[in-house]
Amino acid sequence: MRTSISRKVSIAGAILSLALISVVVAQQAQPPAARQPAFPPTAQPRQPAEGQAQWNPQNDHIIVQWLMVDNQGEIELAKLAGEKSQSSDVKKFATMMTQDHGDFLSALQQLNQRAGGPAGQRPAQGNFAAPGAAPPAGNAPGAAAPINPAPTSSVGARPAGGLDMVTFKHELGKQCLASAKDELGHKEGKEFDQCYMGMQTAAHMHMLDTLKVFQRHASPQLADLLKGAIETTEDHLDHAKKMIKDFGPSAETARRSEETEKK
């Protein structure tokens, strides 16, 4: 009797062991669950914190090329103002534009050369008027490391099948300069001065915002140069705003009143 019970217990234990083994084997045979992505396909990527830099190796090349185009345009318009304006104040402003934008363009060209790009046309040589900032020192001993080189596969940043931003900016700058020259070319005397100083006020407002955004996306070396450019642009904008008042209706009314009183 005891032998029969023991045998039954042994058989039951063997059956239970086989059942457990079957469960384990079945679990191992199932494929592992797919890993959930950190960002589901429908989710929006996290936005960077305000003021956080969005910098990559192509940024400096694009920023430098973009600003070179804008500064070349400013120099061309300043030369035109120096030739056509009859106001000594406007001529002085145009001279300041030629010198300051020429210095900034030279600094940008130095950075562009060190990054492997073409130097382009060099107007007035010098260092951009950045208060307290030293100019780029080329490859002299102890000089700052060069900015990140331009992409070797493209003139600018062009996604597959996309737009080359540097080529686009050169085309845009050429078109804008032609339009500005055409507008100024039809004006003389005070009308020319009003138009030019109005353009300068708007252009420097736009440039100030452009520089601030570019500074957040630039390498530390280029950002230092842009800091000085921001300060100089603010000075130019203040100067232009003060001068535009001298050509406005209120200023003309005041001059006429003064002439009438003299009579």
Nearest-angstrom CA–CA distance, 198 and 192: 10
**Residue 148: helix, strand or coil by DSSP?**
coil
Predicted pLDDT of residue 84:
95
Residue 150 lies in a domain: no
Residue 246 lies in a domain: yes
Predicted pLDDT of residue 7:
58
Q: pTM value? A: 0.61
Nearest-angstrom CA–CA distance, 206 and 227: 16
Predicted pLDDT of residue 2:
52
How do residues 200-227 score in pLDDT, each as one tens digit? 999 999 999 999 999 999 999 899 999 9
**Structural domain boundaries enclosing 189:** 59-128+165-262
Confidence category of residue 10, pLDDT binned at 50, 70, 90: low
Stretch 58-67: mean pLDDT: 92
Residue 30 lies in a domain: no
What are the phi and psi torsion angles at 148 (to 5°)?
A: -65, 135
Residue 216 lies in a domain: yes
Number of domains the chain is built from: 1
Q: Write the single-letter amino acid at 21.
A: I
Look at the block and give the residue holding tokens 């062009």: 158
Predicted pLDDT of residue 58:
82
Kindly report the average pLDDT of the chain as a whole number: 72
Residue 92 CA to its chain's centroid (Å): 29
Confidence category of residue 246, pLDDT binned at 50, 70, 90: confident
Residue 160 lies in a domain: no
Predicted pLDDT of residue 245:
86
Residue 105 lies in a domain: yes
Taking 80 as the threshold, does the pLDDT of residue 195 lie above it? Answer: yes
Residue 143 lies in a domain: no
- Domain containing 228 — which CATH number? 1.20.1260.10
Residue 69 lies in a domain: yes
Tell me whether residue 61 is exposed, middle or buried, using C-beta atoms within 10 angstroms of its C-beta: 0 to 12, 13 to 18, 19 or more.
Answer: buried
